[in-house]
Every structure is written in C-alpha cells, then in structure tokens.
C-alpha cells in the first residue's frame, strides 16, 4: 500500500482533532481540516470566503432535504447553482479524492469516511467520549460559561450529524461507517493514536 489515508470524525470535546494532529505528526504526514477549503477554492476558482462561510453559518440541515445524495457530480461555472452549498461540498469531495489517490494524510470531518468509503487505502475512525470528559475538554477550549457548555456541545454535534446525513443520506453515529470507534475519555489521546497505528499495522501488514 503506497499511501494510507485516515479519516477522523468526532464528537465535540472528545479531542478527535487533537488526536488527528498527533497521529499525522507521528506518521510524518499532512493533516487536513480547514485546509481542504483552500484547496477546494483553488480547484474551483470560487472565493475561499464562500467555502468558509458554509463552515461558519451552522445551517440547520435537519430541515433541509438534499436534492440528491452526493455521488461525485460537479456543477459547471455557467450553472445557476455553481456556488450553492451542495456544489461547494462537491468540490471539497473532489479534493478529498485527489488527496486519497496521491498521498498519505489524516483528514478531519468533511464526510471524508463516506466520500472515500470505496478506497481500499482508507481507514475511518470515530472518536467519542462521555459527557463529563467532553464538557471538561470543551471548557478548556472555548470561552463559554459552564452553565451553557452542554447546550453548545449538543448544538455542535447536532449540526455535524445533520450535515452528514444531508450530504450522505447516512447517520453520523452509524458504527458501520467506521473501521474504528475509540473512547478517548477511557484511552486518552496517546493511546488512541497507538490504537490507530496498531490497526494500520495489522490491516496493511506493515
């Protein structure tokens, strides 16, 4: 296997992003999260700010029905919905596929586990933890009053789940969509990284 891609989905506060960065560093490969936005902008010619805006506006996808579940199609510049949220997603998906074909890397979010599900060189991971652990981690990261943090975590996870279902038709928490599900609250970040590396070693006989 020439290159291996690890996709990481995570509950807010579980430390999934931190684990992904640690994993990338230990493997000596690139880490991609918001970097995908810049690459998709370069690929499409669409202003990077438009991609960033979709990330930031936290649309309530639970009230939206997708016109069509993602299947790889792209709208052309002369199309009226060239800069629609759906097409912005499609360009990000194109970038993910290009990365999976050319380099080893770690990718956070972006429905990457679904987009790359048919790639034999992809390992998909979901990181979760109990409520107290996620609360503690979240409070250390964001300036939100403690009495409001649970609501913030719930809202963020709901957005991620709704976004995922809108674009994929699948449930974010469906364990069948992942190779590994790790409880960071019980394992800790370092051991989560070790578990992923152990899985890679066994699966790809490295």
pLDDT in tens, 114-132: 999 999 999 999 999 999 9
Closest to 55 measured CA to CA, from 26, 85, 29: 85
Q: Are 11 and 134 in contact (CB under 8 A)?
A: yes
What's the predicted TM-score (pTM) here? 0.89
Q: pLDDT value at position 76?
A: 63
- Residue 161 CA neighbour count, 13 Å, CB half: 13
- Angle, to 10 degrees, between the axis of helix 146-168 and the axis of helix 131-141? 100
Q: At the top level of CATH, which class does the domain 5-203 belong to? A: alpha beta
Report d(CA 196, CA 181) in Å as an integer: 10
Output the average pLDDT for the chain.
Answer: 88
Report d(CA 201, CA 141) in Å as an integer: 33
Q: pLDDT value at position 205?
A: 85
What ranges make up the beta strands (E) of the chain? 5-10, 30-32, 105-108, 122-128, 180-183
Beta bridge partners of 108: 8
Digit-by-digit pLDDT tens for the chain (206 residues) are 579 999 999 999 999 999 999 999 999 999 999 899 899 888 888 888 887 777 655 555 555 565 566 666 776 676 766 867 788 888 899 999 999 999 999 999 999 999 999 999 999 999 999 999 999 999 998 888 888 999 999 999 998 998 898 889 899 999 999 999 999 999 999 999 999 999 999 999 87
């Amino acid at each position: 296997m020439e290159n291996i891609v690890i996709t990481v989905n995570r509950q807010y506060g579980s430390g999934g992003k931190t684990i992904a960065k640690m994993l990338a560093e230990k493997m000596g490969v690139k880490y991609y999260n918001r970097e995908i936005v810049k690459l998709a902008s370069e690929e499409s010619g669409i202003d990077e700010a438009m991609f960033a805006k979709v990330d930031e506006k936290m649309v309530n996808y639970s009230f939206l029905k997708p016109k069509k579940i993602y299947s790889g199609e792209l709208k052309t510049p002369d199309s009226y919905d060239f800069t629609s949220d759906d097409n912005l997603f499609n360009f990000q998906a194109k970038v993910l596929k290009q990365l999976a074909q050319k380099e080893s890397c770690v990718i956070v979010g972006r429905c990457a586990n679904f987009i790359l599900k048919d790639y034999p060189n992809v390992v998909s991971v979901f990181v979760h933890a109990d409520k107290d652990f996620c609360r503690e981690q979240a409070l250390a990261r964001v300036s939100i009053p403690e009495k409001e943090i649970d609501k913030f975590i719930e809202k963020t996870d709901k957005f991620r789940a709704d976004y995922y279902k809108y674009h994929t038709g699948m449930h974010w928490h469906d364990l069948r969509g992942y190779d590994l599900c790790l409880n960071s609250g019980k394992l800790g970040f370092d051991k989560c990284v070790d578990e992923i590396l152990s899985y890679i070693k066994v699966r790809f006989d490295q």
